[in-house]
Amino acid sequence: MGSFEAGDVTVRLTGVSVHTNHGVGAAEREVGQRMVFDLELLLAGCAATATDELAGTVDYGAVTEELTGAAKARSYLTLERLVTVIGETMLERFGAVERVTVRATKPEPPIPVVMDGASVEVTLSRGEAS
């Protein structure tokens, strides 16, 4: 095979279901509810495309552990803040990640209409994390 540069890789974790305590209502924070998370991680120049070594990418298990830990660490009123904290955590913890998109969905939001869910999504890039 020829010599190629490491390619960009997108890693997606979808449908990560976690019991959380986020929301404006007291019941949402006290009793909690199931929330579903989707993550998209851009690994620019991912070395694992050439080396086949874990050191050149991200460990999905470690990413999931960081996601669930950040989702449960404290209670936020807004999903906007929650997804931002999760995105910042991914950029801080995983040096190979250049950009992260985090979506949090409440499958059964406390709204008196039937819907598939309410979601908030944020995209952060390296250098933008606070």
Q: Which of 22, 106, 122, 124 is catalytic?
A: 106
- Among residues 110, 63, 102, the alpha carbon closest in space to that of 79 is found at 102
To the query of whether residue 106 is one of the catalytic residues in this protein, the response is yes
The values of phi and psi at residue 81, to 5°, are -70, -40
Could you write out the DSSP letters of every residue in 36-57?
EEEEEEEETT-THHHH--GGGS
Sign (positive or negative) of CA dihedral 70, 71, 74, 77 = positive
Give the start-end residues of each E strand in the chain: 9-20, 33-43, 99-106, 118-125
Query: 């960081």: which residue's tokens?
Result: 66
> Which residues are catalytic, by number?
106
